[in-house]
């Protein structure tokens, strides 16, 4: 039983509004003085007393409970195919279509749907609801806009001890996710409490990672599988290879054995074009390139030693720091080395020495980035020391174009996926440069100070408008490039083709001229050698005496010249 006591009060007694008005003062109480009371007044020592007439206040803090928000969505892909058919495999879809087209029910269904489809086609032909009426005017605006970029997101390493963001990989289907590999590449600088984790970030909820990848050793490289976006392959600091399936959590599904893996950090790991979509290859500074099938990581399927003397000796091998593979050329790949040499290879050659087809030497230090132009696969770019260089496969001696020497080291680079003459480079002073070689070649079209620490990695989205830059302290900055730098201009492909062909032709002419001069020099030096052989050979003492004599003759001549200069010229009188 609940006992309730209710306090009641008339409505008229509370909540009455105040009504203020101007009126003259009036006396409510007037107490006249009474002289007879003075006799009872008692004198006291002065006493100070104070009275506080404000109400007592107390301060309280309330922390409201945080609402956990979770993003969920549905991805609609091409449907209607059976589970065992991969719609991205052309051969499987063609085979399935042929099988379905032979079915009698298929023809009846098509005939029935034909009348409905014909009505829709006629509607489409009558009016184009997506027609752009002011397309030309928009193009003019794009051309006039100065190059710029704006920061759209900043993702920081959540650990207290910051590590370098060594590699970035965009989700192949939706560009809303970014996989980042974190590790410290400074030799013997790994602290005891340093985390091994790498992360997959959802850009719509960047406060915390969507998935934490927990490898046995820090990841140096990390790549999404272009055929299956749930699968990622990673190369570890200790040389092991690992792969993840995001549906199975953050622990690797399988890791390669230490004894069959690389002996140095895996700086490059790339997926290959294959029917199964499970094959990849890796490169490391131990001088090896290894091919893997993630269904069986117990041993590599193939191996290549990067020995340019073609003897296959591991002690002579050049350490690989970057790897390049173009899917349109499935047998070819390129490796950038610590020694500044780019090695072009052919996987399908009969013998291991033949797999190394050619070398390109042009940098004073490691080649940190190597990428083929997406529009002209025979043109490729290298980034190393203080420059970025553009090469043609046909010219082995030197690059056809290059940037100026910067004051700070270049750390990474990539081509634009939209414009053939635009490429991006990052520097060790935290600057991102965007170059447009059709516009100007002496300076970048856009130079942007992204952060104070060195930038370490760079990756462009497939749409060419958003670029991610990873820094030495693990901060990934996402920048949206202005439309002028990510919109294909009129006649740009034709102009870029002409530019690359012109520079290739120029280098060929210079190469032929240098070869000719070397032959002449060799012939001249051979003639001089025969003359030298006829002269009597001087003893070391005779050479010393002759040098001393020549030295004193030079000193004497200089003293005489100074004496003549100091002698005053007589003034002739008229």
Q: pLDDT by residue (tens digit) across 134-178?
A: 765 544 444 567 888 888 888 888 887 888 888 888 888 877 888
Instruction: Give residues with Cβ within 8 angstroms of 463, minimum separation 6.
Output: 175, 417, 418, 486
pLDDT of amino acid 529: 60
**What confidence tier does 362 reach under pLDDT thresholds 50, 70, 90?**
confident
Average pLDDT of the segment spanning 116-136: 79
In a domain, 546, yes or no: no
CB count within 10 Å of CB 6 equals 4
pLDDT of amino acid 140: 43
In a domain, 119, yes or no: no
Is a pLDDT exceeding 70 seen at residue 372? yes
In a domain, 180, yes or no: yes
Is a pLDDT exceeding 50 seen at residue 5? yes
Angle at 573 between CA 568 and CA 574, to 5 degrees: 150
Quick one: which H or E segment has residue 283? strand 279-284
Average pLDDT of the segment spanning 296-306: 84
pLDDT of amino acid 68: 79
- The phi-psi region of residue 474 (left if phi > 0; otherwise alpha if psi is between -120 and 50; otherwise beta) is left
**Sign of the CA dihedral running 443, 448, 449, 454:** negative
Number of domains comprising the chain: 1
Is a pLDDT exceeding 70 seen at residue 564? yes
pLDDT of amino acid 536: 60
Average pLDDT of the segment spanning 82-99: 81
pLDDT of amino acid 574: 40
pLDDT of amino acid 142: 46
Distance separating the N- and C-terminal Cα atoms of the chain: 144
Is a pLDDT exceeding 50 seen at residue 572? no
Q: What is the percent of the chain with per-residue pLDDT over 70, rounded to a whole number?
A: 92
Cα–Cα dist 271/327, whole Å:
9
pLDDT of amino acid 143: 52
In a domain, 340, yes or no: yes
In a domain, 40, yes or no: no
Q: For residue 71, list its beta bridge partners.
A: none
pLDDT of amino acid 136: 58
Cα–Cα dist 428/406, whole Å:
10
Q: pLDDT by residue (tens digit) across 186-197?
A: 765 666 677 888
Cα–Cα dist 326/346, whole Å:
12
Range of the domain at 446: 152-508
Q: What is the CATH number of the domain that holds 498?
A: 2.130.10.10
Instruction: Give residues with Cβ within 8 angstroms of 567, minimum separation 6.
Output: none
* Burial grade of 366 (CB within 10 A; 0-12, 13-18, 19 or more): buried
pLDDT of amino acid 187: 64
Q: Whole-model pTM above 0.75?
A: no
Mean pLDDT over the full length of the chain: 82
Average pLDDT of the segment spanning 289-305: 85
In a domain, 294, yes or no: yes
Task: Please give the C-alpha separations between residue 410 and each of 147, 328, 382, 387, 406, in angstroms, as whole numbers.
Answer: 21, 28, 10, 7, 8
In a domain, 480, yes or no: yes
Q: pLDDT by residue (tens digit) across 205-228?
A: 888 888 888 888 888 899 888 888
In a domain, 38, yes or no: no
Average pLDDT of the segment spanning 55-82: 77
By mean pLDDT, which of 72-76, 371-375, 442-446 is the weakest? 72-76
């Amino acid at each position: 039983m609940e006992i309730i006591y209710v306090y009641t009060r008339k409505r008229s007694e509370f909540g009455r509004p105040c009504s203020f008005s101007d009126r003259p003062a009036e006396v409510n109480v007037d107490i006249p003085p009474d002289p007879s009371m003075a006799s009872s007044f008692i004198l006291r020592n002065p006493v100070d007393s104070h009275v506080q007439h404000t109400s007592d206040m107390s301060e309280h803090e309330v922390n409201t409970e945080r609402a956990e928000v979770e993003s969920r969505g549905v991805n609609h892909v091409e449907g209607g195919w059976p589970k065992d058919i991969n719609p991205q495999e052309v051969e499987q879809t063609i085979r399935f279509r042929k099988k379905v087209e032979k079915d009698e029910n298929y023809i009846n269904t098509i005939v029935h749907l034909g009348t409905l489809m014909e009505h829709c086609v006629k509607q489409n032909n009558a009016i184009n609801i997506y027609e752009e009426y002011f397309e030309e005017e928009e193009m003019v605006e794009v051309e006039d806009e100065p190059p710029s970029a704006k920061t759209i997101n900043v993702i920081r390493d959540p650990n207290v001890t910051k590590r370098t963001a060594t590699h970035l990989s965009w989700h192949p289907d939706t560009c809303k996710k970014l996989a980042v590999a974190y590790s410290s590449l400074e030799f013997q600088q790994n602290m005891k409490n340093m985390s091994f984790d790498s992360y997959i970030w959802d850009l719509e909820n960047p406060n915390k990672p969507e998935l934490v990848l927990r490898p046995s050793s820090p990841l140096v490289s990390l790549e999404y599988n272009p055929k299956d976006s749930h699968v990622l392959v990673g190369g570890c600091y200790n040389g092991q290879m690992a792969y993840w399936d995001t549906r199975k959590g953050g622990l690797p599904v399988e890791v390669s054995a230490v004894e069959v893996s690389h002996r140095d950090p895996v700086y490059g790991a790339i997926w290959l074009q294959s029917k199964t979509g499970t094959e990849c290859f890796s490169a490391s500074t131990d001088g090896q390139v290894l091919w893997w099938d993630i269904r069986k990581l117990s041993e590599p399927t193939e191996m290549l030693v990067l020995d340019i003397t073609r003897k296959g000796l591991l002690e002579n091998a050049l350490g690989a720091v970057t790897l390049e593979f173009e899917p349109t050329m499935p047998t070819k790949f390129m490796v950038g080395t610590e020694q500044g040499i780019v090695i072009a290879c052919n996987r399908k050659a009969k013998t291991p020495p033949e797999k190394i087809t050619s070398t390109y030497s042009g940098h004073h230090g490691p080649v940190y980035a190597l990428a083929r132009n997406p529009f002209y696969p025979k043109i490729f770019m290298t980034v190393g020391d203080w420059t970025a260089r553009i090469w043609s496969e046909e010219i082995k001696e030197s690059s056809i174009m290059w940037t100026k020497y910067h004051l700070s080291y270049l750390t990474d680079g990539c081509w634009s996926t939209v414009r053939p003459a635009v490429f991006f480079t990052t520097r060790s002073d935290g600057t991102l440069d965007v170059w447009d070689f059709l516009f100007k070649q002496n300076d970048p079209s856009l130079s942007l100070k992204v952060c104070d620490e060195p930038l370490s990695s760079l990756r462009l989205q497939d749409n060419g408008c958003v670029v991610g830059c990873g820094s030495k302290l693990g901060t990934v900055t996402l920048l949206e490039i202005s439309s002028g730098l990510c919109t294909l201009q009129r006649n740009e492909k034709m102009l870029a083709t002409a530019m690359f062909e012109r520079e290739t032709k120029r280098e060929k002419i210079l190469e032929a001229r240098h070869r000719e001069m070397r032959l002449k020099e060799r012939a001249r030096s051979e003639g001089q050698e025969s003359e030298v052989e006829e002269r009597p050979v001087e003893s070391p003492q005779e050479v010393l005496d002759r040098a001393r004599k020549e030295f004193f003759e030079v000193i004497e001549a200089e003293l005489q010249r100074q004496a003549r200069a100091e002698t005053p010229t007589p003034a002739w009188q008229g």
